[in-house]
Chains A and B, each alone.
Chain A
Amino acid sequence: MTRESYLKRSLGTTLSRRIKESRVLLVGAGGIGCELLKNLLLTGFGEIHIIDLDTIDLSNLNRQFLFRHEHIKKSKALVAKEVAQKFQPSTKLEAYHANIKDAQFNVDWFATFDIVFNALDNLDARRHVNRMCLAAGVPLIESGTTGFNGQVQVIKKGDTECYDCNSKEVPTTFPVCTIRSTPSQPIHCIVWAKSYLLPELFGTSEDETQDFDHSEDAENAAEIENLRKEAQALKDIRGSMGSEDFAEKVFNKVFMTDIERLRGMEDMWKSRQPPEPLDFATLQEQSGSVDNTISLNDQKVWNVTEDFVVFKDSLNRLSRRLKDLKEKTSEKDVSPILVFDKDDVDTLDFVAASANLRSAIFKIEPKSKFDIKQMAGNIIPAIATTNAMTAGLCVLQALKVLKDDLANAKMVFLERSGVRAINSDSLKAPNPNCPVCSVAQGRVFIDPTRATLNDLVRDVLRLQLGYGEEFSLSNEIGTIYDPDLEDNLPKTLSELGVKDESFITVVDEEDENPRVNLELVIRVSQKLDEPAATEEKKPVTLERVMDIPRKPKAATPPPTEQVNGTTAHEPVTGKRKREAEGELSNGYERVKRVASVAVGSGDGADPIVLDEADGGAILIDD
């Protein structure tokens, strides 16, 4: 009996050999990732590359079994490799503590793998890997878990649905005015504390964040201006951090002065109950008997005095931390900041206490720290058992792919319904209207110093490829060109965030017989192995002129907007010439009351998006 005797017997020699010769990429070394790495090693995979940007946190240890207490704050990918290698010395393991979206992991690199496994916790990276695998023609095994539920999907270009063939749940959105002026639910106060108060005091303040796209809508302008002034005044107070009366200043500003101003806007409170400001001195007096260890009790719903004590205590803790950080940072470096992290007790205490104080002001139900953590962090429950099952199912699907038995590969769901805990479904054919996989692909070489958007739009798209007037261009920043957005034309592509190995999507918007979407991979042609951009050469050149098929004729127009869940919230760079008609004039009352937490498709957090009145978006989650 040898080490591999069980394997050979069960899998047969041919498949065993294929497995041994294959090279696989594992994206994510979290809950599913740790299990997958173990299973891949013990299934005999010859070469495994593992990539993860994250570091290990205490809250990972209940399921990510390759990590121990002493590994906290170290790279997940590197530790996973080190620990797992000991158990299977013969396998070639390669680890990267890096972002899968980095340019070095380009389409050519993806193409070197036989199979890619997605073990990710966020929509954005999932979409990126999906796209790269489609472009590289590599089969992808996509997976995710939520509590006791999990799912596994096999994706192969041309044969199956891709990750984006179906619409994904759109993140919850809140109008800025609801958060800043007229909260009516606990979540509004929690978002206020997490995404306004905390960053204004300890992070990057609103004005420096380009994600904010201030409304120019006349009706809102006055209030937006007020809110801007409020934020400025808070920033002035930030200067006195560390002084004796810092807590009192902050408190008076946000829980008294600002509230009194709001209260003064009588129109707002005609049929709403007006907010009641809080008084620092009164609470200070009452709080004498409350010990600040109350913050450790996360199940109890604190009363206002307890909120007050935790507010002061956590503000103090955060101030000291920021001070320590500043002392360790030299003047030349970027000024340090503190950001919300659901597993960072200091920021969580501050958000919980501040949110509850604001709730008291607006007569909203307070919540326990445990619940606030869930709502602010968009926590998705995660346990070892679900990860073990999901990872096992991933490997089973990978075996089908390696056997070229895609016909028997499945979409698998872990759930308890009827008599089955594990249900499977046949893989579906690609959605012909999918904005991601039903696209044509091409490559363009650009000279980054000279290439302008106009070069691409006029020389390549109109003259070489025959596009008409109506089409739009977008990249990861958002829409960079459409017929109403011509401001960007003279700008260089570099200015518009176009980098080496990035994508630009061209959407043909002609009413008559439009082309399928075109996805252009950009290559910055200063690399030695590619045609050099000389003076004679045009600043933007197409690798080859290809024929772009037309969209299939359907009864309904292609659901581009809905299918790509983020489209509706994509920020727009530059100014639009004409505003969309019929948009709401203010964002006060159009958002649905949100049931506690959105179900995500991973064991991390999906972003909450603040939806501004004119459709701009502020991404507020980590």
Chain B
Amino acid sequence: MTDSFPSALTGPSSKERKYDRQLRLWAASGQQALEESRVLLVNSDGPIDKQKTTVSGVVGVETLKNLVLPGIGGFTIVDPASVTESDLGVNFFLEEQSLGKSRAEETCRLLKELNPDVEGTFSTTPIAELLQDTKFLPAFRLVLVSGPVKCSSLDLLCNASRELGIPVLYTHSVGFYSTFSLQLPAEFPIVETHPDPETTQDLRLANPWPELLEAGARVRDLDTLDDHQHGHVPYVLLLLHYLEQWKETHEGNVPSNYKEKTEFREMVRAGARTNNPEGGEENFDEAVAAVLKSLNPFSLRSNIREVFEMEECQKLRADSASFWVIASAVNAFYQMHRVLPLPGSLPDMKAQSADYISLQNIYKSKARKDLEEVTETVRRIEGSFGAKRSPIPEKEIEVFCKNAAHIKLIRGRNIPRIDRDVTVQSSVRMALGIPESLAPISIAFQILDAVVDQLQETGSTVASIDDNETWDKQTQRIIGVLKAEDPEYVDEEVEEQIKNATQELRRTKAGELHNISSLTGGLVAQEALKVLTRQYVPLDNTCIFDGVKSRSEMHRL
């Protein structure tokens, strides 16, 4: 027995201890998903002009840093650039002796030092060449791209990723501005959305099941209870008790509108004993506070209704993802009972511990029963496809049932390109309509992309990213595209804002500020973590940051 002293200090728990502070956010399941993920960073795609200006890729490295620390499985850095003097002043993951060496190799080496659990490789071959090997891309769960890159390379990468269902994050950081967009697969369901606990309470007081009704009925004569007992009846049971009284005088209906609920609340409030030093009872206070939000009859939220109505849910195939199989089974449950499976959790409340536990058990066992029913349906569906499907783990079905009401499905969009996509044009126009909108910054970055693209054209004689003519031409072209449908959308003021934003990019010659790129690396990595853990709702689909105003905005472009 005494031998266990050293083993408890090291051993299998050391990883849990290292990651403890983040396990509190995404639990062991999220951590496992992270550890199974490999991330590709395309940190530059060769020089962007003839003066060999290169994207310094700080935002890419800083993003990766924030993924290596929490322990992704591995990463690959693709970057044909060599380390220059100016890189040293802006990139923390390079050092004096890195000068002149491969930037991919040096940043890979220094990032790997952050976490021995993470495996890292690099390549100095341009991404377009690497993609010729069709086995290259499928190894990754996420692609990060530091812009601007050649339009042709970005297209190759985004198209290939979309086909493989791999999310892409395309990032820009120049001067005080940054922006990034997330391209998700066509359907991206999130089961564990982690909604605010306040909004997730599902007590079913207006739709009680027999065992809960029975527990409520046991609280019959409150007047006979002594003060201690009276002050410790759990508020859930108090509400059930008063609801029965209410129903007697309201034709069996529960309070349904605000006026009735207020009336009902007064009825509950009047039940509290006030002849004590506190002048009231805490359990009654809790009951009164819960009236407005806990008496609503069950209704299906639009997010889950949408999932039920989708073709993937209606028409299962032998190779349907397990998400759709479970969704279909939960839909069957809903069609039968007109409620979703009970999540089964009970909030803390004033109560004697034994009473609390028995009430908790009523909720838990109902949740278990609902889960069993859903699981049975899942197994039946699997059976109908014969041996072609392996059974979905029970745990996965359980997590789905617990979170059913808050499941979210994102329909992935492409990396937005104003000059290509009319829907992007109309969403950009909408975004410009918001007061103090940051959309001009996003437009400026698209102009930067267009400028870089023009410089890369075969036969282009323009030497430098500084070239006024190219900037003016592309600025006018993009503004023209936005004005095409209706010139009203881009008035003089907006045009001025767009030009001012391009000035910031031109002034700094597309160079990064470490602080802005580090901050943006935090924002980007946060979205990457959500995508990789499949927890929390990720960005849909563009975020813009203005470091002058310390403000960010999200737009669906």
A253 contact set on B, CB distance < 8 A: none
Distance of A363 Cα from B20 Cα, bound (Å): 29
Contact indicator A61/B92 (Cβ below 8 Å): no
Contact indicator B508/A389 (Cβ below 8 Å): no
Contact indicator A382/B22 (Cβ below 8 Å): yes
- Total count of chain A residues near the partner, CB < 8 A: 92
CB closest residue in chain A, given B523: A389
A148 contact set on B, CB distance < 8 A: 25, 526, 536
Residues of A8-52 whose CB lies within 8 A of B: 9-11, 35, 38-39, 41-43
The answer to whether the Cβ of A105 comes within 8 Å of any Cβ in the partner chain is no
Contact indicator A62/B19 (Cβ below 8 Å): yes
Most buried by A among B11, B20, B354, B545: B20
Contact indicator A345/B8 (Cβ below 8 Å): yes
The answer to whether the Cβ of A296 comes within 8 Å of any Cβ in the partner chain is yes
From A6, A35, A422, give the contact of B512 (CB < 8 A): A6
Contact indicator A298/B69 (Cβ below 8 Å): no
Distance of A302 Cα from B307 Cα, bound (Å): 38
Q: A65-B69, A421-B552 are in contact. Are A384 and B13 (CB under 8 A)?
A: no
Contact indicator A385/B89 (Cβ below 8 Å): no
From A147, A364, A422, give the contact of B353 (CB < 8 A): A364
CB closest residue in chain A, given B56: A6
The answer to whether the Cβ of A392 comes within 8 Å of any Cβ in the partner chain is yes
The answer to whether the Cβ of B457 comes within 8 Å of any Cβ in the partner chain is no
Interface string of A384-399 (1 = CB under 8 A from B): 1111110111011100
Contact indicator A272/B228 (Cβ below 8 Å): yes
Residues of B342-392 whose CB lies within 8 A of A: 347-350, 352-354, 356-357, 360
- Stretch from B80-88, B329-337, B483-491 contacting the other chain: B80-88
Contact indicator A316/B1 (Cβ below 8 Å): yes
The answer to whether the Cβ of B210 comes within 8 Å of any Cβ in the partner chain is no
Give the distance to chain A from B350, nearest Cβ to Cβ, in Å: 5
Contact indicator A273/B22 (Cβ below 8 Å): no
Q: A9-B508, A363-B354, A382-B22 are in contact. Are A422 and B552 (CB under 8 A)?
A: yes
Contact indicator B519/A595 (Cβ below 8 Å): no
Contact indicator A5/B89 (Cβ below 8 Å): yes
Residues of B261-284 whose CB lies within 8 A of A: 277-278, 282
Give the distance to chain B from A41, nearest Cβ to Cβ, in Å: 8
The answer to whether the Cβ of B16 comes within 8 Å of any Cβ in the partner chain is yes
The answer to whether the Cβ of B38 comes within 8 Å of any Cβ in the partner chain is no
Give the distance to chain A from B9, nearest Cβ to Cβ, in Å: 6
Contact indicator B17/A388 (Cβ below 8 Å): no
- Total count of chain B residues near the partner, CB < 8 A: 91
Contact indicator B71/A392 (Cβ below 8 Å): no
The answer to whether the Cβ of A603 comes within 8 Å of any Cβ in the partner chain is yes
Most buried by B among A317, A373, A385, A391: A385
A270 contact set on B, CB distance < 8 A: 226, 228
A61 contact set on B, CB distance < 8 A: 18, 69, 115
B315 contact set on A, CB distance < 8 A: none
The answer to whether the Cβ of B554 comes within 8 Å of any Cβ in the partner chain is yes
From B2, B360, B508, give the contact of A6 (CB < 8 A): B508
Contact indicator B71/A62 (Cβ below 8 Å): yes
B514 contact set on A, CB distance < 8 A: 38-39, 42-43
Contact indicator B24/A381 (Cβ below 8 Å): yes
Most buried by A among B66, B84, B90, B521: B66
The answer to whether the Cβ of A89 comes within 8 Å of any Cβ in the partner chain is yes
Most buried by A among B507, B512, B526: B526
CB closest residue in chain A, given B71: A62
Distance of A364 Cα from B357 Cα, bound (Å): 8
CB closest residue in chain A, given B114: A65
The answer to whether the Cβ of A612 comes within 8 Å of any Cβ in the partner chain is no
Contact indicator B550/A3 (Cβ below 8 Å): no
Interface string of B229-249 (1 = CB under 8 A from A): 101100000000000000000
- Stretch from A156-164, A465-473, A495-503, A586-594 contacting the other chain: A586-594
Contact indicator B554/A419 (Cβ below 8 Å): yes
The answer to whether the Cβ of B515 comes within 8 Å of any Cβ in the partner chain is yes
A381 contact set on B, CB distance < 8 A: 21-22, 24-25
Q: A59-B20, A273-B352, A392-B515 are in contact. Are A320 and B5 (CB under 8 A)?
A: yes
The answer to whether the Cβ of A534 comes within 8 Å of any Cβ in the partner chain is no
Contact indicator A584/B348 (Cβ below 8 Å): no
Residues of B57-109 whose CB lies within 8 A of A: 62, 65-66, 69-71, 84-86, 88-90, 92, 95-96
CB closest residue in chain A, given B23: A370
Contact indicator B554/A420 (Cβ below 8 Å): yes
Q: A185-B353, A363-B354, A584-B277 are in contact. Are A298 and B66 (CB under 8 A)?
A: no
Contact indicator A10/B175 (Cβ below 8 Å): yes
The answer to whether the Cβ of A479 comes within 8 Å of any Cβ in the partner chain is no
The answer to whether the Cβ of A1 comes within 8 Å of any Cβ in the partner chain is yes
The answer to whether the Cβ of B413 comes within 8 Å of any Cβ in the partner chain is no
Q: A42-B90, A62-B70, A388-B521 are in contact. Are A184 and B353 (CB under 8 A)?
A: yes
Contact indicator A385/B522 (Cβ below 8 Å): yes
Contact indicator A86/B95 (Cβ below 8 Å): yes
Give the distance to chain A from B425, nearest Cβ to Cβ, in Å: 19
CB closest residue in chain A, given B230: A271
Contact indicator B9/A590 (Cβ below 8 Å): no
Contact indicator A374/B516 (Cβ below 8 Å): no
The answer to whether the Cβ of A596 comes within 8 Å of any Cβ in the partner chain is yes
Contact indicator A317/B5 (Cβ below 8 Å): yes
Contact indicator B8/A317 (Cβ below 8 Å): yes
The answer to whether the Cβ of A295 comes within 8 Å of any Cβ in the partner chain is yes
The answer to whether the Cβ of A193 comes within 8 Å of any Cβ in the partner chain is no
Contact indicator A412/B8 (Cβ below 8 Å): no
Contact indicator A374/B21 (Cβ below 8 Å): no
Distance of A59 Cα from B18 Cα, bound (Å): 4
Give the distance to chain A from B116, nearest Cβ to Cβ, in Å: 7
Give the distance to chain A from B533, nearest Cβ to Cβ, in Å: 11
Pairs of residues from A and B, 8 with the lowest C-beta to C-beta distance, nearest first: A392-B519, A388-B522, A3-B89, A42-B514, A389-B522, A271-B228, A381-B24, A422-B552
Could you write out 14 A-B pairs with CB less than 8 Å apart?
A4-B89, A38-B514, A293-B4, A313-B4, A317-B8, A345-B13, A364-B357, A365-B353, A365-B360, A384-B65, A384-B66, A389-B522, A419-B434, A423-B551
Interface residues of B (CB under 8 A from A): 1-2, 4-5, 8-9, 11-14, 16-25, 28, 56, 62, 65-66, 69-71, 84-86, 88-90, 92, 95-96, 113-116, 175-176, 226, 228-229, 231-232, 277-278, 282, 347-350, 352-354, 356-357, 360, 434, 507-509, 511-516, 518-523, 525-526, 529, 536, 543, 545, 547, 549-555
